[in-house]
Structure formats: structure tokens, C-alpha cells
Structure 1
Amino acid sequence: MSTRTVVIVGRPTVGKSTLFNRIIGQRRSVVHETAGVTRDRIAEITDWAGHAFQLLDTGGIVPFGEEVSKFDSLVTEIARDAIAEADVVIFMVDGSGGLSTWDDAIAQDLRRSGKPVVLAVNKVEKPSQQYAVHEFYNLGLGDPFAISAMQGLNIGDLLDRVVEGFPTVEIETPCDGRVAIVGRPNVGKSSLLNLLVGRRESLVSDIAGTTRDTVHTDLKWHGKTLRLIDTAGLRRKSRVQEAVEAFCNMRTVRAIEQCDVAVLMIDAANPAVTQDSKIAGLIHDQGKGVVVCFNKWDLVEKDHRTHEQVWADFCREVPFLTYAPWFTLSAETRQRSGRVLETVWEVLEARKQRVETSELNRFLEGVIQRQPPRYHGGGLGKIYFATQVETAPPVFLLSVNNPKWFDRSYLRYLNNRIRETYGFRGSRIFVKTKAH
């Protein structure tokens, strides 16, 4: 069973972000008196009394029929999309300002949605304000909870109601690796997922953006369990026309954060290198394993140079990802599709590789003798000792006389020599320094 989703909604400036921050215990959403500060939906996994749930903060809802800017209309659509995904909605109103026509309009929308609603009357800090709560019964959403998000009053009672019927915190079924299938819209991600699992998990269509949610599928492969994640395509922000597309982007970013290896799918027949480069940058920056697949190879006009040229063009635009294994395929015709999981597993195993400290230092001694550090930043760098401190991704820590005396080019030289010798196929290698 998936984690429950709880959404906080309400008109602008009623205290939604303050409540969100109070529940998760940290300042994650921006809080300000100005309406519209929360522009996007903010999500965080939290728990209460043994019940795990995803909490979403949304921008202020402006009812239809009001004169609003295009931006406010977009924020409202985003909030309504969040309501559609919710298991429980916390509807927040302002107890200090009384019931408004906007509150009534939002309540009507919530009743039509059929979602369970918990009514939170915020900014009730004094006993003398309790009487103001009673007028909110007129919304027809059940008993209101008088709270103060700023002071933390009655938040526990509110959450007790929210998690009624929720399952206790679940233990995720273990797997041998999480694999996110990512790329621009309509590059064939869902077709590849369906091909790999042998059934239609994702809706496949020629319309860009058909997949709205991430789809998790556990796949048995040679006795191993791989968790495959198909995502909505990541669009350029300037092309986000529908409110829901903003969250397709967020889900793709979240999928990359949660995966061990990302399969980056490129449309070989219609490359858009700028956006592909941005997605590749997300994978690289987070140190995830990566496999690059040039899909729709059956649609490409080819000669004897085409195969190598497509990779050369990619590396010219995305020079930081040259360590990635790559191949061409067609999810439509199944051409070379068998290589996907095989290559993913090789990358998963390579990320776990560890170099013994004694071997690493012997290796680096020879590397440094061939090309010692240059004079840089006012001094000559010296490496005393090195060790691999992490795997998945591999991180190597050098104990040196002064980290400032090691420029990026020399650390890149060491990085390249480590990769040449030990492989780490498809995984970024981090080489860091610390003062001895």
C-alpha cells in the first residue's frame, strides 16, 4: 500500500505554510504575510503517531469567478490538482477574520470532490476567540478544529483526526536496485517500461505528457528484484502550460533523487540537446548511476558513421557524462532492448565497488610520480594519504597539506586515472580533499 497523501488548502494568507512547517518540524515553505508567496506545491514525507504520510503545501486558492491574474489562476489550478491526488484534505480558514465568501466557495469545491476534509480554523490564540469558531459550522464540513499554527496550539488533536484510518508506518519491500526511466516527454519511457515488465503498466500514447504520475513496478530479473520507476517527461519550464505539468517535473526530479540508476532516454530521431543536457545534469549532480539509451533508432536514417556520431554529438553537448554506458535501441521493435537491464545491473554493481586503502595509496603514488601537483594558489600541494570513504557513489578523500593548493584540473586528472584503473562504469566519481 502506498503512502497516504495529505494536502493543506485554503485561500491566500490563512497560514497554510506555517502549519506545514509546524507539522514537519522545519522551515521548508516560505512564510510571509503577502498573498501568493507559496507558488508551487511543496511536498514532505512525515509521520504522526506511527502513521506515515506525504504532506503537501499549496498556494492560495482563488475561487472561479474572481478577477485574478494568470499566475494566480495557475496557482489555483495547481492546488486543485493536489486535491485530486489527496487522501485527506486539511482545509484551513482564518479564525481571526471570520468566514468569507471565498471560504464558502472553496468548501463547495471540496464537497464536490468527495475527499475527506478536516476543517482547521487557524489564528485562534486566545480563549476569547473560541466563539468565532462556531460560524464555520456553516461550511458543512463537520466539526472545526480551533488551532494556532504559529503557537502550535491543538495541532496534535488536528493530526489525530487526519490520520484516522491510516495504516501504520510500512516497511518498504526490499529490492536490489531502484531504476528511474527519465527523459523528455514522448521519448518512449512508458513503452520501454511496458516492454521490460511484459505488461501495460503505463498508458502509451503519441501525446506528449500522457504519463502524469510516477509508476513503480518491481521486476524479477535473474533472481534479482529491480524497482522500475517510469516518470512523466521533464519539460522546459517555459513550456509548462498546464498546472499539472509543473508537478510532472517535480515527480521526475523526485524519481531521480530516489533512484540508484537513471536510464536517460534520448529521442534519436528528434534530439533536443539543451533539455536532455539539463536532465543529464540532474543525474550527474546527484551522483546517480546512469545509462544513456538512444531510442527510436528504427526511425533514424543511418550510414556507417551514424552510430558513433550520435554519441559524439551527445558528448559534445554533455561533456560531463562521458563515463555513461550507452547504446541505441527501439522500444517499438524491441531492437537491443535486452541490453537495458543487463547494463543497469553492471552499473549498480560498479557503484558498490570499493578500493582497499593500501591498494589505493600504492596506485596514487605512481600516478602522482608521473604528474605531481603543480604550484597553485600560493603553494605546492602534497598528498599524504587517501581512502575511499563511500560507495554508491564512490567518494575518495585525500588528506593533503592545503586543499587550496589543488585546482580542479588536478583533481580531474586523479579522477580520470581512478576511472581508467578501477572502472566504476556509469557512476560519477567524487575526489575530495581535506587538510591533514
Structure 2
Amino acid sequence: MSFTVVLVGRPNVGKSTLFNRLAGKKLALVDDTPGVTRDWRSAPGWVGGLSFTVVDTAGLEDVTDDSMEARMRRQTEMALERADVALFIIDARAGVTPLDRHFASILRKSKTPVLLVANKSEGKASKSGLYESYELGLGDPIPLSAEHGEGMADLVEALLPYAPKEDDEAEVDAVAVEASDEGPVPIGDQPETEADRSKPIQIAIVGRPNVGKSTLLNSLVGEERVLTGPEAGMTRDAISVDWQWRDRRFKLVDTAGMRRRARVDEKVEKLAVADTLRVIRMANVVMLVVDAEAILDKQDLNIARMVISEGRSLVIVVNKWDIVEDRAMALRQVEDKLEAALGYIKGVKVVTISALKGHKLDTLLDAVVDTYTVWNRRIPTSQLNRWIEGVLDHHPPPLIEGRRVKIRYVTQVKSRPPTFALFVNKPLELPESYQRYLTGHLRDSFDLPGVPLRLLLRKGKNPFADE
């Protein structure tokens, strides 16, 4: 059993730096610009033999209207209500500010226990701020430096009273293993077993800014889990949410919008896009969300090609379908653009939804599970070799300088994505056009739609043949 620790404080006091320190990896974006974090995100934390769930939140602002800052504050308050203990973080070098005093007065009335943390306490410049923090009425401050890892022993000692008493060594070890798996990671290269089925499907929700990615995640989980609004580019950090639908577990990851590289000039946006690319590389299924009013424009297709090149499975999600008038024409445009840009990977599933109204979300998830199943598929070697014999009889490779390239054997060497090794006497001379023909024939023969297939040409004798 674990407990939950939430990090709160005004902007730019080092909450995300401490979050990364406690999580043991750089999961949250960190920059000197105030307000980089906008949504709250959680991860398994592990420090000094103590295991817990750590939650990073947006900087607290003294606003209560409908602005983005006010919506960020409501997200932080939601995370605070769910926590077992809160760490109220101040900047010891800057001293206690009026905003610190304001929120300290609010936190003193909170039902959630609060510990005061004086961050950036390295060096003499922090001493005056450390002494000032006593006036906040939250008890003795815990001096530490999240950036340098100083003072973590004092933090562990302060958190110990909130740890469950039955948190024995076996459970700590289990959480430590879970912590190492935080974030979207590949599940492996074996056929899906019951044990694999119990593992979450890692889903990355990607697309251009303001196409409804965060709204889709909120609609799926049934709550305002991430910040949404009319402003483009609201999401910066990749926010991971564990969720279950029917008998399957999912890890949904909302990502920052990806504009064309030429338009990305701010440092924070560059960091956010780099984080999105990391999420794509580690996902099982990528939902590419596109706007129904601008379906599959150039940037959408660039993202789709990148997903395929990374070997991830792809589902295209056409959002805001409820506002489309000529739906038949829109679907024909989607088919034409897919054929022109991604004709080499036939069968990519396209699902039309309304994330705001929650329309056809079950259909979307069915498509995700089906695509994931194909991405994991393994084909027996005996079937593959019967298939290649038929292919060679019907359409053998072309002659190269009067001699024919011989394909002796084929086997699947991995899944996720399905990858096949062809043992060829002259692998460098097998034309790319014939390799594309084999890939297409393989896709049709074994029902492998919508996922990338890879052929690896190998030279040598059949490794499975008798000596």
C-alpha cells in the first residue's frame, strides 16, 4: 500500500524539479520560465526506502475567474483534495512573498496535512528566506535543494508518519519495480498471454494544437483530468492517466500539440515537442487526432509518417465530426489522402468521433484494441514458408545479371511491429520494388492491416535446418 504526496506552491519555486527528483527520472518539463506546468501529473516516487505516489501541480495563482490561470488553480485544488499529504514549496532564496502568505493561509484550513518545504536552500543566500518561512504558520520548514538532491533525508523523516504501517519490504520492492516502468514503454516481443493482457495498453494521444486531444482524454476517463480551453497549445507536459475500459487496462498519455518545425521557436514549446516525440517512440498505439474541418493536412501526414517509421501502431481519430455537413465527401477526402501519402500501409483504421459530446468513443477503443492485437501478432514459421513458396511460384524475383535471387527461408523474428527475416543468397541485390511487393502480399495473406511491417534481409543458410 502506498500514499500520495502532492507538490503545491506558486510558480517557479521548483515543484517540477522536486517531482523529477522523487520520481527518479525527468518526467516533467523544467525551465526558468514561470508556469511551464499546467496540468497535474503523477508518478511512483521512491526516496530513502519510502515509496509513494508523487503529484506535480501547476503554480498557484490568486485568481478565481474563468481564465486559464484560474482553471489551472482548480486542477491543483482537485489534486490536493485527493492527496494524503501536501508539500507546500517556497523559494528560500527569494524569501516569503505575499503570494506565499496568501496560499499558506488557505492551506492551513485544508483537510490535507501540509508540510512546508524551503527549496533552493543551498548556500548562504537562502538563510534569511528559511527563517522568514516560520511566519507562515506551517511548522518547521524542511530545507532542501531539489536540483542538487540535498536535504532528502529530512524530507523522508517528515513523510514517515504518513506512510502506511503495513508498507513492508515486499510491497516497497513491488512499487520500486513499478516506478522503473513509469511512462509509456514497450511491453515486449512475445505473443500476448494472459499476463500480457493484464498489462496496460500504452496509448499516446497526439496531433496538432487545438484539435481536441485533452478533451478526448477527459471524455474517456469521465472527468476534467487535464486542462482544456479555447487557447491553443495548453498542454505542455505529457500527462499519463491509468484507466480501465471493459476488461482492458490502458495508460492514456495526452501530449503537447505538434506544429510544423519552422513555427516552433519558443524554448518551452521545443521541450514539449521533444517530450511528445519520446512518448510516441514508447507507445503501443498512437491516436492521431485530426480536426474534422482540416482533415489530414500536411502536418497531420508528417506526424502519421513519423509514427509508422517508429514502428508504432496508428489509429486516426477525426474529431469534431458532429459539425461536419457533407460527411460522405469528408470520408472520401480521408481515403484519398491516406492512399496518396500512406499507400504502403493499407488498412489504417479511421474513426470519426465527437470528443466534446462523447460520441463513438466505444468504437474508437474497439479500433485501438484491434490494431494493438494486429501489432502483436505472430505467424508460425511453417505458415510463412508455405506462403513464400506460393509467392515464388507465382511471382519469382527478377533476374539480376542473368541470375535469379533466391529466397530460401522466412521467419518472424519479433512482433510490435511484426518483423520478418528473409534468408536470401544475395540480399543486397533483391530490388526494393520486390520487397514492397512481398510486404503487401504478406499484409493481405495474413490479415495485417494498418500496422508497419518490417523485412530484414539476411544472408546465410537456414538457421533451423539440420546440420
Pairwise same-fold verdict (TM > 0.5): yes
Residue 189 of structure 1, aligned match among 193, 202, 213 = 213
- How many residue pairs match? The answer is 328
Q: 1:335 to 1:55 in 2, by over 3 A?
A: closer
Query: For 1:298 and 1:201, how far apart are their aligned partners in 2?
Result: 23
Quote the offset at 1:335 in angstroms.
Answer: 3.1
Whether contact under 8 Å (1:81, 1:244) holds in the other structure is: no
Q: Pick one of 427, 431, 435 that aligns with 2:451.
A: 427
Whole-Å Cα distance in 2 between the matches of residues 212 and 315 of structure 1? 32
Identity %: 30
Which of 404, 420, 423 matches 1:380? 404
Change (3 A) 1:347 1:110: farther
What are the Cα deviations for residues 329-351 of structure 1, in whole angstroms up to 9, with x where unaligned? Answer: 22233332221111100111112
Corresponding residue for 1:408? 432
Residue 266 of structure 1 and its aligned partner are, at CA, apart by: 1.1
Paired residues of 2:37 and 2:236 also in contact (CA < 8 A): no
Measured in 1, the distance between the counterparts of 2:152 and 2:434 equals 54
Name the SS of the counterpart of 1:416 in structure 2.
Answer: helix
Partner of 1:333: 357
Counterpart mapping for 1:287-298 below 5 A = 287-298=311-322
Q: Does 1:253 align with 2:277?
A: yes
- Aligned in 2, Cα 1:202/1:330: closer, same or farther, shift over 3 Å? same
Q: Deviations over 1:20-51 (max 9, x none)?
A: xxxxxxxxxxxxxxxxxxxxxxx9xx99xxx8
**Residue number in structure 2 paired with 1:23:** none
Q: Say whether the 8 Å CA contact 2:203–2:287 is kept in structure 1.
A: yes
Match of 1:308 among 312, 332, 339: 332
Structure 1 residues 223-269: Cα deviation after superposition (integer angstroms, max 9, x where no partner):
11111111111122222244321222122112112210001111121
Deviates more, 1:329-338 or 1:347-356: 329-338
Seen in structure 2, the aligned counterparts of structure 1 residues 396 and 303 have a Cα distance that, compared at 3 Å, is: closer
- Say if 2:392 is the partner of 1:368: yes
How much does 1:378 deviate?
8.4
> What is the CA-CA distance between 1:424 and the residue it aligns to?
2.4
Amino acid at match of 1:247: L
* Partner residue in 2 for 1:31: none
Q: What do the CA deviations read for 1:379-417 (whole angstroms, capped 9, x no partner)?
A: 531111110000111100011101111121111111111
* 2:143 aligned partner: none
- Relative distance call for 1:311 and 1:413 in structure 2 (3 A) is same
Matched letter for residue 24 of structure 2: F
Deviation of 1:117 after TM superposition, in Å, equals 3.5
CA distance in 1, matches of 2:384, 2:241: 39
Aligned to 1:202: 226
Gaps of 5+ in 1: 6-42, 59-76, 88-105, 120-135, 143-157
* 1:270 Cα offset (Å): 2.1
Code of the aligned partner of 1:352: N
Query: How far did 1:283 drift?
Result: 0.7
- Residue 216 (structure 1) aligned with residue 240 (structure 2): yes
Q: Alpha-carbon deviations, 1:257-290, whole Å to 9, x = none? A: 2210001111121246221122112211111111
**Which range moves more in the overlay, 190-199 or 314-323?**
314-323
Structure 1 residues 37-69: Cα deviation after superposition (integer angstroms, max 9, x where no partner): xxxxxx9xx99xxx86225999xxxxxxxxxxx
TM-score (norm 1): 0.65
Q: CA deviation at 1:159?
A: 7.1
SS at 1:251 equivalent: helix
Residue 399 of structure 2 is aligned to residue 396 of structure 1: no
- Work out whether residues 217 and 229 of structure 1, in 8 Å CA contact, stay in contact via their aligned partners in 2: yes
User: Amino acid of the residue matched to residue 349 of structure 1?
Assistant: T
